[in-house]
Each structure stands twice: as structure tokens, then as C-alpha cells.
Amino acid sequence: MIWTSIKRICKSGFINFWRNGFVSFASVLVVVMSLFVFEALIFFSILGGVYINQIKDKVDVNVYFATNASEQDVLVLKKSIESLPEVAKVEYVSRDQSLIDFKARHSDDELTIQGLNELGLNPFPAALNIKAKDTSQYGSVAKFLESKNALTKNGSTIIESINYNKNKLIIDRLIKILDSLNKLGVAITSILIFIAIAITFNTIRLSIYASREEIGVMKLVGASNKYVRGPFVVSGIMYGLISSFITLIIFYPTVYYLGTITNNFSSDVNLVNYYIINFGQIFLIITGSGILLGAISSYLAVRRYLKV
């Protein structure tokens, strides 16, 4: 008896869905837009996180020394820095190596190389490239370099400049930009969800109005409140279910297109592979969100307009 009632409720829900074809199409379209933006937000969050981690991995503190600083004093400071618990790696670049690296980078620029040769001396200072264990620990490393611990035995400083503040500014700005984009995506998704609920809500309302005589007959023959309300909730779930399938279908070519673009910037993340590997999880999230969206909006409409 229970299964028979469930079958009849589902059948009535399908009939209500197809009966209001144009309105149902409008509801499905808005729900698709909401789910599409929601899914895009997930992927942009993943992509943004990967890029931030890549930039953090490439960031280090570069310490440049005065040209008259002795190599012995620089190596003593290097040993002191390596002893810090925050430091993962310290690379020493001599003045001669800096000159070689500069010439290699500008090998195609004859004027620059010619001007450097005419100078007759090495203008490049020695440097230390310091890699911290975590990005947040560069501040304490910079404080150490600016403290008395970085002075030589005679109390003088051999450090010419430290680029910590410049790198920190770049990272902070990038994180703020990505955070703002995520907030914008959440806001747009919220607005579209509200619109989807409102349209589905009114679709169910129209279905109730169109079926008012049929509902009256059902009540006269003894149909329960759940049996009368059920088809409209089923219709709402269908809106969400169909919308989620459409979203998953049209999102794949979008991911493929974006994947070809992001591969030019980074090979560490492949959106297409991520989409395929995690399709099961994405399917459950999008389908569940679509069904929940349709069920909630239809349930609210039934409670508001179906007085049974």
C-alpha cells in the first residue's frame, strides 16, 4: 500500500512537471545558473589555493651585503641564520657568482654587457637567499637580520638591504585579491540561489493553482495531506535533479577550456584531471545541492499556499 502511494505521488509529480513546461524550464534554467556558479566557485578556490602555495614556495628573503663586506663575515652570519629554528635553507651567492649570473641573464643584451665590461669592476654584492619553513616565519627571520645579532665582531653591519617587506607585500596583496574574488563568488551564488528558490516557489504556486479542482476532488475522496502535498515536492526535486545533470554536462567543456589556459601558467594543477578523478564527489555535491534547492523551495511553497 505504501509503495503504491509513493508510485502515485511520483507519477503525479512528473505530470505536474511536464504540465507546466515553460515555467518548469525557467526554474531549471535559474537553478542551473546557481549550481554552475557554485561549482565554478569550488574550482576557482582550488586553483587559487594552488597558485598561492606555488608563490609561497618561490618566496624567500634575499639579504644583500655591502661590496666591502668580507666573505668570512658573510659566512659567519650565514651559519648564525642556519641555526634559527624557522630557517629551512640558506644559499650563499658570492660576488663573482652574482656577476656570472647577471651576464648569463643578459647574454643577448650587448650594450649592457659592454657597459659592465667598461666599468672595470664587479658592482654586485654577495647575497644570502633564505628559505623559511613557513611563510609566516619570514618576519622573525627579518627581525633577526635587523637586530644586533647580525652585527660583526666590531659592532658594524655588513647588510646593505633586505627584500622581505617587498615580498610580503606581494603575497598579502595576492591573498586579499583571491579572498575578495571568493567573497564575490559567494555573494553571486547566494543571489542566484535566492532567485532560484523564488522562481521554483512561484512555479509550485502556479501548479497548485492550476490543480486546485483536482486537489479538491482528492480531498473529497479521502486523500491524506501527505498524498496531496507529495506530487508538488516531487516536482521541486525534479527541478533540482535535472538542473544538476545539466550543470555537470555543460561544466566539463568549461573545465577543459580553462584547463588549457591554466596549463600555460602552471603544470602543477590539471583541472580536467581533477574534474575526472573527483567526479564522484562533485556529482554528489552538485546533485545533492540541486535536490536540496528544489525540495526546500517546493516545500516552502506547499506550506504557504496548499492549505490541506
Return the pLDDT at 160.
79
To the nearest whole percent, how much of the chain has pLDDT over 70?
67
User: Average pLDDT for residues 186-208, to the nearest whole number?
Assistant: 71
> Which one has a higher pLDDT value, 301 or 111?
111
Return the pLDDT at 269.
62
Instruction: State the pLDDT confidence band at 299, using cuts at 50, 70 and 90.
Output: confident
Looking at residue 150, the DSSP 8-state letter turns out to be: G
Return the pLDDT at 218.
66
Instruction: State the pLDDT confidence band at 116, using cuts at 50, 70 and 90.
Output: confident
Return the pLDDT at 103.
81
CA–CA separation, 22 vs 242, rounded Å? Answer: 15
Q: Is residue 77 scored above 70 in pLDDT?
A: yes
Looking up cell 623559511 gives 132
User: Average pLDDT for residues 206-223, to the nearest whole number?
Assistant: 66
User: Average pLDDT for residues 263-274, to the nearest whole number?
Assistant: 66
Looking at residue 154, the DSSP 8-state letter turns out to be: T
Q: Is residue 60 scored above 80 in pLDDT?
A: no
User: Average pLDDT for residues 12-31, to the nearest whole number?
Assistant: 69
Q: What class, spelled out in words, does domain 67-157 have in CATH?
A: alpha beta
User: Exposed/middle/buried for 136, CB within 10 Å: 0-12, 13-18, 19+?
Assistant: exposed
Return the beta strands (E) in the chain as ranges: 61-65, 87-93, 127-132, 159-162
* The most confident of 38-42, 82-86, 170-174, 213-217, by mean pLDDT: 82-86
User: Average pLDDT for residues 94-103, to the nearest whole number?
Assistant: 84
Return the pLDDT at 137.
79
The CA-based angle 32-35-41, given to 5 degrees, is 140
Type of residue numbered 150: A
φ, ψ dihedrals at 121, nearest 5°: -150, 165
Q: Which of 69, 73, 164, 60 is nearest to 125 (CA)?
A: 69
CA–CA separation, 73 vs 264, rounded Å? Answer: 43
Question: Are the beta carbons of 295 and 230 closer than 8 angstroms?
Answer: no
Q: Is residue 215 scored above 70 in pLDDT?
A: no
Domain parsing of the chain, residue ranges:
2-55+181-305, 67-157
φ, ψ dihedrals at 28, nearest 5°: -60, -40
What does pLDDT average to over the chain?
75
User: Exposed/middle/buried for 5, CB within 10 Å: 0-12, 13-18, 19+?
Assistant: middle
Return the pLDDT at 209.
67
User: Average pLDDT for residues 12-41, to the nearest whole number?
Assistant: 72
Q: Is residue 266 scored above 70 in pLDDT?
A: no
Return the pLDDT at 288.
86
User: Average pLDDT for residues 95-106, to the nearest whole number?
Assistant: 83
Retrieve residue 19's grid coordinates.
Answer: 504540465
Q: Which of 94, 120, 116 is nearest to 105 (CA)?
A: 116
> Which one has a higher pLDDT value, 146 or 58?
146
User: Average pLDDT for residues 197-224, to the nearest whole number?
Assistant: 67
φ, ψ dihedrals at 70, nearest 5°: -75, 150
pLDDT in tens, 138-188: 778 888 877 766 666 666 777 878 887 776 777 677 667 767 777 776 777
> What sign has the CA pseudo-torsion 231, 237, 240, 243?
negative
Q: Residue 89: beta bridge partners?
A: 131
Return the pLDDT at 23.
66
Predicted TM-score (pTM) above 0.75: no
